[in-house]
Structure 1
Amino acid sequence: MCHDCVAGGPSGASRRSFTRFLAAGAGLTVLAACTPEAPAAVTPSSSSPAPGVTSASPTAVAVPSVESTTAAAEPPPQAPVPPSAALPRQFSLTDPGSPWLVVNKHRPLAPADYVPADLVQPNVTLAVSGEAALLNSTTAAAADAMFAAAAQDGVVMTLASGYRSYGTQVTTYNGYVAARGQADADTASARPGYSEHQTGWSFDIGDSGGACAFQPCFADQPAAVWAKANGHRFGFVVRYPWMFHPITGYYYEPWHLRYIGVEAATDMATRGISTVEEYFGVDAAPGYP
């Protein structure tokens, strides 16, 4: 490197050195070394001559551009493949009628006042009546099978809350806001148009004694323990698991089950994946935008 070089050539002490070099017959060499290098649009290739060596045929050397060499060395990043891609059957993540629908604080229902076309009452022990005793037909059939299997194992399970219409969710959410403030309400109840209960794919479970109903301690009750261990066999997952609220947006709800299909639920359980956001490859939704 030439430490005495400036854009306009030598000056001061450098100019005196420059004169002495000229007198010694090295003028051309110093000029070549100290002349500022013009900005180059290309990077020399491995076949280019070394600095200071004149090529006999400069136009014969192909010089790739910086952009082309960078692109060759660094291919564009690929979008991550979600674990669900391994399943042979794929479903929509946005259609409310799809078992793979992902609805959370970043993904509202469309339309916001969606109503399932096939609401039915499952053949299970009910702790509620009216619309809360309804599920879509696919979820109802799976619930029938799961509740029956739990009963065979000596576990009593009840349907504590099923379908919830947009209008009902307005009332429910506003009640939480009035009692606890909006910030706290948003950790416990979905805003209208953002609730899984409105889809018919989700429901809450309880037990015959009502022990720890809708409380964290319900996780230790037989119904919750059995559902967590066996729900995947019937297509269900615990939608809001323990310590995953930074992803799901809600604190632990061991009573809230979500139907996603036997294949997907079993695959999640086998892989040890806790949230549908991670499994289906969508962004975490800790809060509303």
Structure 2
Amino acid sequence: MCYDDADGTAGRQEAGPESPSRRAFSRLLLAGTGLAALSACTPAQSFTPSGTPGPTPGTGTGSSTPTAAAAASTPPASTPSAPVPESTPAATQTATPVPPSAAARPPSAAAPGPQHSLSDPTSPWVIVNKHRPLSPATFVPPDLARPAVRLATSGEAALVNSTTAAAAERMFAAAAADGVIITLASGYRSFATQRATYGSYVNSRGQAEADTASARPGYSEHQTGWAFDIGDGSGADAFTPQFKDRPAAIWAKANAHRFGFVVRYPWMLHEITGYFYEPWHLRFIGKEAAADMRARGIGTLEQYFGLEAAPAYR
């Protein structure tokens, strides 16, 4: 659900003690399926990719090459009747043996630019998924700010951290120059807000079903300040699989890497990320890493950083 900018403010402001705004997560159905699309958030263990060997990207998913992950991340013209776990066709396997030492290193070990922590929530590379909760669980970004972009929400949801805000301003301006309007539909989400949202699902549906529709508190990327959801200028298809066909989603998929963003939950890689396709959920990781992921055809942060798949909570 999108919200109007209640106070009409579009310029970036330092965050004050605003009361959290709740955004209930709608249970989304993939077109033609009975599968619920999960809301964008997740997290848990520490790993600093400064050349340290890690597991082979795609571990636990059947995927052994970034190329296959990229191919699976592109949606077909119509939604399939059921999700299929990521796999690597034999035809895509390389015939050239890879030295064991190279195969053990995650792609990010050779990433351009500085290396960052995967566990520090103030790091642009922090990984939050169903195996990796935030630490501390109640983390609050110290530099929350409201970016000077078109807003479709208000309160805490209109905030991101200052680095993400600056990158979002540049990206939204570039999209507008191309005739595409992008709105910020949901940004920061506090631990308290996520706890209330998740709790309401548990109370009404039970924990097992709640875990398919809402992130547990402390397991949401939105809490880091590095992620936000986008909307289209028309407001159409917000938070639905059909959003992938809106101009904002099409433009972001093609250009977000230029500004340091990736589409965090790509098509058909839910067995790795734990979430079905969310073309509206963008995550800042820096221009060098985002461009490197795109150039190598790597679909998920788990694969890029050589981490295990996190399809469900432990």
TM-score for both structures, normalised by structure 1: 0.71
**Distance (whole Å) between structure 2 residues aligned to residue 156 and residue 147 of structure 1:** 7
Bigger CA radius of gyration? 1
**Equivalent position to 1:113, from 135, 138, 143:** 138
**Equivalent position to 1:167, from 174, 183, 192:** 192
In the TM superposition, residue 184 of structure 1 has moved relative to its aligned partner by: 3.5
Q: Which stretch has the larger CA shift, 217-226 or 83-92?
A: 83-92
1:135 aligns with 2:160: yes
Match for 1:116: what amino acid?
P
Root mean square deviation of aligned Cα: 1.6
String of CA shifts for 1:207-245, please: whole Å, max 9, x gaps: 122211100000110100100110000000000111000
**Equivalent position to 1:80, from 96, 104, 111:** 104
String of CA shifts for 1:139-174, please: whole Å, max 9, x gaps: 000000000000001101000000000000011222
String of CA shifts for 1:124-153, please: whole Å, max 9, x gaps: 000111100000000000000000000001
**Equivalent position to 2:244, from 193, 206, 219:** 219
Structure 2 segments unaligned to the other structure (5+ residues):
1-99
Residue of structure 1 in register with 2:267 after alignment:
242
Which structure carries more relative contact order (alpha carbon 8 Å, separation 6+)?
A: 2
**Distance (whole Å) between structure 1 residues aligned to residue 231 and residue 102 of structure 2:** 44
String of CA shifts for 1:232-276, please: whole Å, max 9, x gaps: 000000001110000000111110000000000000000000000
**Distance (whole Å) between structure 2 residues aligned to residue 277 and residue 208 of structure 1:** 31
TM-score for both structures, normalised by structure 2: 0.66
String of CA shifts for 1:28-75, please: whole Å, max 9, x gaps: xxxxxxxxxxxxxxxxxxxxxxxxxxxxxxxxxxxxxxxxxxxxxxxx
Give % identity. 71
Residue of structure 1 in register with 2:13 after alignment:
none
In the TM superposition, residue 102 of structure 1 has moved relative to its aligned partner by: 0.4
Contact 2:231–2:280 (Cα < 8 Å) also in 1: yes
Match for 1:83: what amino acid?
P
Contact 2:150–2:182 (Cα < 8 Å) also in 1: yes
Match for 1:99: what amino acid?
P
Match for 1:187: what amino acid?
T
Match for 2:141: what amino acid?
P
Residue of structure 2 in register with 1:205 after alignment:
230
Change (3 A) 1:179 1:222: farther
Change (3 A) 1:180 1:122: same
Residue of structure 1 in register with 2:67 after alignment:
none
In the TM superposition, residue 179 of structure 1 has moved relative to its aligned partner by: 4.9
In the TM superposition, residue 183 of structure 1 has moved relative to its aligned partner by: 3.0
**Distance (whole Å) between structure 2 residues aligned to residue 84 and residue 133 of structure 1:** 31
Identify the structure with the greater helix proportion.
1
**Distance (whole Å) between structure 1 residues aligned to residue 247 and residue 206 of structure 2:** 33
Contact 1:242–1:252 (Cα < 8 Å) also in 2: yes
Match for 2:279: what amino acid?
P
Residue of structure 1 in register with 2:59 after alignment:
none
Contact 1:188–1:251 (Cα < 8 Å) also in 2: no
Residue of structure 1 in register with 2:19 after alignment:
none
Match for 1:162: what amino acid?
G
1:230 aligns with 2:255: yes
Structure 1 segments unaligned to the other structure (5+ residues):
1-75
Q: How many residues align?
A: 214
Contact 1:187–1:251 (Cα < 8 Å) also in 2: no
String of CA shifts for 1:165-196, please: whole Å, max 9, x gaps: 00000112223334554334323321100000
**Distance (whole Å) between structure 1 residues aligned to residue 153 and residue 285 of structure 2:** 23
String of CA shifts for 1:78-111, please: whole Å, max 9, x gaps: 9810101112410000000000000100000000
1:100 aligns with 2:125: yes
1:285 aligns with 2:310: yes
